[in-house]
Amino acid sequence: MLFETPSTDKPDLIGKPFKKVHTVLDLHVMVSRWKDSGETIALVPTMGGIHDGHLSLIAKAQSVCDRVIASLFVNPTQFGENDDFETYPMNEKMDTKMLRGAGVDLLFLPSLDEIYPKGFSTSITVSGISNELCGAHRPGHFSGVATVVAKLLLQILPDVAIFGEKDYQQLMVIRQMVRDLNISSQIMGVPTKREKDGLAFSSRNLYLTVKERIIAPKLYRVLCTVAEVALKQPTNLKKICEKAKEDLTKTGFSSVEYLLVCDSETLKPLEKIEAHARVFSAVRLGKARLIDNVPICF
């Protein structure tokens, strides 16, 4: 864990120089200045709704580079027709305050037109890993993610870009894309930051009612149980996952989209435990779609 205390207890860094830019042109001015003076740059892309999970990414960024840029852009192309684009919980004022408080040097807050100007017509697809897990349930989602992340990386060309392992499949899709397209940035993953009761920090937790919030941490506990039991019964994965799905439904989750043990590189479902395995799940709980994953450690 990179932060042990909630964000409000962190030292006040408001006194540090902080800049907010809205255009790629203004972004380039700052980035060039830093690069010319030999400073390294880390990028933390966000869609706002800033929480302690994001702040753990910022902390990692600060530990590996001289300068940290956070971007804040709710990317419409990664939302499906029935997804929550319209209600996604970004709050520019609060998000800016939290990122500034965490010591971010530059916040890039582009408009929709700045990212997708008139005539925009390019998309990036990573086949294979994009089709598993969430990809099977959210067609076009990872193509939207890959395209916007490529743009952000190429606008800044940071030394490092940082993503949370909570969105593990996203991290893997971006890693593959960056490798395939020879983008010069290093992609770093940061372990999932959790509430004390185990619930992974997520902007979408805000959708939960008080009652649902009590049920939600059960997802993490069930995933940990699957990881434990799978080690003891390495060839019995199908039954273990079926049992876990029943547990989740009984506990009060509205539905289980998937719960699978997969290879942590290819994300293909495994029939028996192999060297690199991970448990992945997506569930519905009231208005929220929650995802989580845990490694299976030997």
What binding mask, one character per residue, do residues 22-61 give for a copy of itself by CB under 8 A, x or -? --x-------------------------------------
Quick check: 127 binds a copy of itself (CB under 8 A)? yes
CB atoms within 10 A of CB 229: 17
Angle between helices 141-156 and 168-180 (to 10 degrees): 60
Residue 13, amino acid: L
- Contact between 129 and a copy of itself by CB under 8 A: the answer reads yes
Please identify, among the stretches 144-152, 186-194, 207-215, 231-239, the one whose residues bind a copy of itself according to the rule CB under 8 A: 144-152
149 binds a copy of itself (CB under 8 A): no
Between residue 183 and residue 202, which ones bind a copy of itself under the rule CB under 8 A?
183-184
DSSP of 4-41, one letter per residue?
-S-GGGSPP-TTS--EEE-SHHHHHHHHHHHHHTT--E
276 catalytic, yes or no? no
CA trace torsion 273, 170, 79, 158 (10° rounding): 180
Q: Which residue has the tokens 């902080």?
A: 18
Q: How far is the CB of 2 from a copy of itself (least distance, A)?
A: 30
* Residue 139 sits in the site that holds a copy of itself (CB under 8 A): no
Active-site entry in 54, 137, 141, 276: 54
Q: How many CB atoms lie within 10 A of CB 116?
A: 18
For a copy of itself, give the closer residue by CB, 11 or 119. Answer: 119
Q: What are the residues whose beta carbons fall under 8 Å from the beta carbon of 131, sequence distance 6 or more?
A: none
Q: Which of 150, 208, 237, 294 binds a copy of itself (CB under 8 A)?
A: 150
Residues catalogued as catalytic: 54
Tell me which residues touch a copy of itself (CB under 8 A): 24, 119-129, 146-147, 150-151, 154-155, 157, 176-177, 180-184
